[in-house]
Structure 1
Amino acid sequence: MGTSGAGVPRSASLRAQLAAVASVAGLRQVNGLLPANRAGIWAGRGLIAGVMAAFGPTLPGTSVVQVEVGGLRGEWVRAAGVEHGEQAIYYIHGSGYVVCSARTHRGLASRLSKATGLPVFLIDYRLAPEHRFPAAAEDVAAGYRWLLEKGYRAADLVIGGDSAGGHLALDLLLHNDRTGIDQPAGAFMFSPLIDLTLTLAEQQDRRRPDPMAPASAGRRLVRLYTRGQPADSPRLRLEIPPGAALPPLFVQAGAEEMLSDDARRLRGMADAAGVRCELELWPGRIHVFQALPLLVPEAGPALRRAAEFVRSALAEAQIRERVS
């Protein structure tokens, strides 16, 4: 599959370029200095929550319904005018496994809901360092099972995720494949983290500093989740086996951001395994720019393309069911 489409611009907007330059001088420096202790984690969580709220606020009129069932936590997010129906998006937020939450991604979820006309269930998985591997992965799998138990058919669900949420989304799809659980209609990922050693990210970061954080800072966060686990653990070093029964994938990343090579690696693994995967590399350097529409104008068009994938994946799943 190609790395761009007719709707992907050739160059980043001036606002996006200026935001990247300013962020390298500001946010990157702060994130690089935060220590991986309780105070540093608290500060990092507050900093990212502030950035998300300022540049990707929740749309007016959005309905938010909290869910807490046993150990499962999350929230239903519906843009104004969107009703619950037979189809939905299951969204897994990023965080480096440490700093974000369903609340920080509520704005992104509201825009996804508006663009697709679907309710979005945001899983609020447990974070490190309070909860290490495999807590987040277990919560993500439990959220998917809960949706199926609530009456959603797998073919009526599309999974989404960003950054570490992309890793968790792929882990869920591979887990479904191993255990025979029905796969969703498709999965889309924004700036997915695939290489948890951040070796690929470090190489990209050396070529051009990432505006959000140094690769070393990302590695410190991930280690809070993976500490004590071997680097080659199959649940951490994900591989798509040949012939894996995975649904179609749709991946977007900034062409020059730290995780751009991770996105390329995911597409390469999918191609080798015979899994459909469309990769869009958008010009620019902002990580998960789709969540920051007031900072990066490209966020809106990119979300609309993701919404097109969601609609197409759901329609194709219905066709497959009718002919099977």
Structure 2
Amino acid sequence: MPTRGSRRSRAAATVSGLTLRQISAVLPPERAWGLWASRRIVERIMDSFGPSLAGTDVEKVDVRLPDGRRVVGEWVRGAGVTTTAVGGQERSDPGQQTDACIYFLHGSGFALCSPRTHRRLTAWLSRLTGLPVFCLDYRLAPRHRFPAAAVDARSGWDWLCTAQGFAPDRIVIAGDSAGGHLAVDLLLQPNVAHPAGLALFSPLLDLTFGLARIREELRRDPAIRAADAAKLVGLYCAGTDLTHPRLTLDVAGGRRMPPTLVQAGGGEMLVADSRRLAADITTAGGDCELQVWPDQVHVFQALPKLTPEAAPAMREVAAFIGESLRGKAISRVAG
């Protein structure tokens, strides 16, 4: 791990503090035009500074489970990831791991993003791991409030494990920001079989943003104020007490999590959430590696054209995913 961020990434954070942070402060998420503008800004940033999409194959999904639940999203296969028939289904071929995949839950406050905004990141993840990535297009606030996104996250998981035929321990769940909250909530449910591993980018844990506010007193986030982020998340939580156990997650007192990698930027306010999550996973008996990349912004991994640290961070994620799947494969053979 570097001791300090690169000059380019520090410069980018400074510019963000002078521009994006100020813009986010004046765009009211509770107003339709403010939310629309926020969505367009995030989309433009992800497109402009994300990795290349060259050679990426995208397959849209819109199906219903036998019980009527709807699953919407897309399979993303990065350049060099070919398809092969496995168990009667078309699968991307990750070398010797044709029976494995990544389940990706995108972030941005339960209200802003989509598989489209995250396609460059999921394609890069697919290319680095050689695995197909299924990115869920869960319902967004304010039209769809809690627990819509959490219900959709469970539906996507059930679809992968049933209709798609993936064994739970041949799946790695990944997610960023609010997607991290959805992933942890999913795995805390007692009737959900755990995946091989969990890889999270700047996960959101505390929906009150209390941890973020404390961090903000020490160092301001270059992208957004804690108060503004809380307003955005409030669109999803409106009408529900934040003490609800599916919103305030009891990780320390809950189930043992699968092997977990958490990455966060040292310059963002949600680094406090990442530290708390890692500590709580360990308290519950799980194995969690926390990587705090100095001076980096929120979900910097999605912005390799902006920050050089994105590439080595993603290589760490790819290595973790490979090790998680190999570990499960070895344990299954040994057993």
- Measure, in 2, the Cα distance between the counterparts of 1:9 and 1:89: 28
8 Å Cα contact 1:49/1:100 also seen in 2: yes
> Secondary structure of the residue that 1:170 maps to in structure 2?
helix
- Measure, in 2, the Cα distance between the counterparts of 1:25 and 1:185: 41
Q: TM-score, normalised by structure 1?
A: 0.95
1:293 aligned to 2:304? yes
Partner of 1:114: 127
1:29 aligned to 2:43? no
Partner of 1:89: 102
Partner of 2:7: 14
State the AA in 2 paired with 1:52.
M
Partner of 2:72: 73
1:198 aligned to 2:209? yes
Which residues of structure 1 form unaligned runs of 5+?
A: 1-7
State the AA in 1 paired with 2:295.
G
- Measure, in 1, the Cα distance between the counterparts of 2:107 and 2:306: 19
Q: Which has the higher contact order (CA 8 A, sep 6+)?
A: 1
- Measure, in 1, the Cα distance between the counterparts of 2:199 and 2:331: 19
> Secondary structure of the residue that 2:261 maps to in structure 1?
strand
Q: Which of 229, 248, 267 pairs up with 1:256?
A: 267
CA deviations on 1:153-204 (whole Å, 9 max, x unpaired) are 11110000000000001011112xx11x321000000000000001111121
- Measure, in 1, the Cα distance between the counterparts of 2:165 and 2:111: 31
State the AA in 1 paired with 2:47.
A
- Measure, in 1, the Cα distance between the counterparts of 2:297 and 2:267: 8
Aligned in 2, Cα 1:72/1:58: closer, same or farther, shift over 3 Å? farther
> Secondary structure of the residue that 1:65 maps to in structure 2?
strand
Partner of 1:123: 136
Partner of 2:179: 165
1:156 aligned to 2:155? no
Number of residues paired by the alignment?
314
8 Å Cα contact 2:222/2:267 also seen in 1: no
8 Å Cα contact 1:210/1:285 also seen in 2: no
State the AA in 2 paired with 1:246.
M
8 Å Cα contact 1:77/1:110 also seen in 2: yes
Q: What do you get for the CA RMSD once the two structures are aligned?
A: 1.1
Deviation at 1:319, TM superposition (A): 1.9
Partner of 1:56: 50
Q: Which of 43, 46, 55 pairs up with 2:40?
A: 46
8 Å Cα contact 2:257/2:281 also seen in 1: no
Partner of 1:303: 314
- Measure, in 2, the Cα distance between the counterparts of 1:293 and 1:159: 22
8 Å Cα contact 2:256/2:281 also seen in 1: no
- Measure, in 2, the Cα distance between the counterparts of 1:158 and 1:41: 31
Deviation at 1:242, TM superposition (A): 4.6
1:234 aligned to 2:245? yes
CA deviations on 1:18-60 (whole Å, 9 max, x unpaired) are 0000000001100111012111000100010000000004420
Which residues of structure 2 form unaligned runs of 5+?
A: 65-69, 83-91, 93-97
Deviation at 1:323, TM superposition (A): 3.0
Q: TM-score, normalised by structure 2?
A: 0.92
8 Å Cα contact 2:173/2:197 also seen in 1: yes
8 Å Cα contact 1:243/1:274 also seen in 2: no
- Measure, in 2, the Cα distance between the counterparts of 1:247 and 1:34: 38
1:137 aligned to 2:150? yes
Partner of 1:278: 289
> Secondary structure of the residue that 1:48 maps to in structure 2?
helix
Structure 1 stretch displaced more, 305-314 or 197-206: 197-206
The structure 1 segments of at least 4 consecutive aligned residues displaced by more than 3 Å after TM superposition are: none
Partner of 1:209: 220
8 Å Cα contact 1:34/1:44 also seen in 2: yes
- What percent identity do the matched residue pairs reach? 48
